[in-house]
Amino acid sequence: MSKIENGQIAVEKKWVNIDSIVTEVSAFLNKRLIESAKENVEARIYFHPEQLPFKIYSDEFKIFEILKILIDNAVKFTQNGFIEFGVGRNNSDRFLSFWVNDTGIGIADPFKQLIFQPFQTFNDSDKLIYGGLGLGLSIAKGLADAMSAEIEVDSEKGQGSRFVLSVPLQLGEDDEADKEDFNEAGKARKVLIVQYGYSTIKEVIKQLRQHNVHVVHANDGVSAIEKFFENKDVDLIITDVRLSDMSSFELIRALRRINENIPVIAQTAYYLADEKQRCLNEGFVDYLLKPFEPSTIIRLLRKL
């Protein structure tokens, strides 16, 4: 804490994949809700990769630590409703904003100027139920200041809170390429998507066609195997973790018997750390959160 107060925190910047931040923070949010037995609180994730850069140059550890503090407080002060973690571009386009919204007890106006100071507590009956905010938010503010980032709060007593961490935006080379033309990166590429319901990916398919990426769709595992036999020139397979007729692990084994080198990616609506590890152990090359976007597929194809 003394280093924070004296402004002596070292900043260690590197190229950070935004997908990995979202995945780790989402897992932390779900874990904290389970640990706290908050069965009446829903975890919500807002993440649209097509609207964001692929990576930024920043201090990943400090971003994660700040978001952990914000989520810890949201879990502590929310008994019903939801907690939402999201990421998006700042209106000025110079910052990337991470936010944590909750439907908790909220913060009365007199306390909004005090919550980033050490050991502040609510001065009314709320503190008897929830206790104080402690050092958490003051540490988060110190870490943000060290990165030249900003933390803002919008809250009303009884109406929940919204905390926003805005990080200076410095793009990676891949994102500069994204601004130019996806057609070259996606030329003559073919993707097999295994997900129930054509309508759920209809718009994605339409957008990918504009970038010369052809999509083969399968509703279930058996259909996916048949489609792969018919389309052995597929470059990438993306499959839902949960299929109606077989497990995704059975599917990847069958696909690998056709082509042992085909890259297969698992997608899921709910991040589970154990499930991710098993997917990687079974040979999936990645484990992604839904919804996937056209730009995400383009980036994956570019890496092949």
What is the end-to-end Cα distance of the chain in Å, rounded?
A: 45
Alpha helices (H) along the chain? 2-5, 18-35, 60-77, 109-112, 126-130, 136-146, 173-178, 182-185, 202-209, 221-230, 248-258, 273-282, 294-303
Domains of the chain: 2-168 (3.30.565.10), 181-303 (3.40.50.2300)
Using the predicted structure, report yes or no on whether residue 40 has a pLDDT greater than 60. Answer: yes
Q: What is the pLDDT of residues 132-159, one digit of tens each?
A: 555 688 889 999 999 999 999 998 888 9
Using the predicted structure, report yes or no on whether residue 236 has a pLDDT greater than 70. Answer: yes
CA distance 19 to 222: 30
Nearest to 279 by CA among 292, 265, 289: 265
Mean pLDDT of 231-236: 92
Nearest to 143 by CA among 164, 169, 165: 165
Fill in the DSSP letter of residue 292: P
Q: What is the pLDDT of residue 135?
A: 62
Using the predicted structure, report yes or no on whether residue 249 has a pLDDT greater than 90. Answer: yes
Using the predicted structure, report yes or no on whether residue 256 has a pLDDT greater than 90. Answer: yes
Q: What is the pLDDT of residue 118?
A: 65
- Which residues, in sequence order, are CB contacts of 192 under 8 Å at separation 6+? 215, 216, 217, 218, 224, 227, 228, 231, 234, 236, 237, 238
| Helix 248-258 vs helix 221-230: crossing angle, to nearest 10 | 20
pTM of model > 0.75: no
Q: Find the range with the poorest average confidence among 19-23, 173-177, 206-210, 277-281.
A: 173-177
Using the predicted structure, report yes or no on whether residue 160 has a pLDDT greater than 60. Answer: yes
Q: What is the pLDDT of residues 56-68, one digit of tens each?
A: 889 999 999 999 9
Instruction: Encode 163-211 in three state secondary structure.
Output: EEEEEECCECHHHHHHCCCHHHHCCCEEEEEECCCHHHCHHHHHHHHCC
Using the predicted structure, report yes or no on whether residue 171 has a pLDDT greater than 80. Answer: no
Tell which wins on pLDDT, 171 or 205.
Answer: 205
Using the predicted structure, report yes or no on whether residue 216 has a pLDDT greater than 80. Answer: yes
Give the total residue count for the chain. 304
Reported as a pLDDT band with limits 50, 70 and 90, residue 82 is very high
Using the predicted structure, report yes or no on whether residue 15 has a pLDDT greater than 60. Answer: yes
Amino acid at 269: A
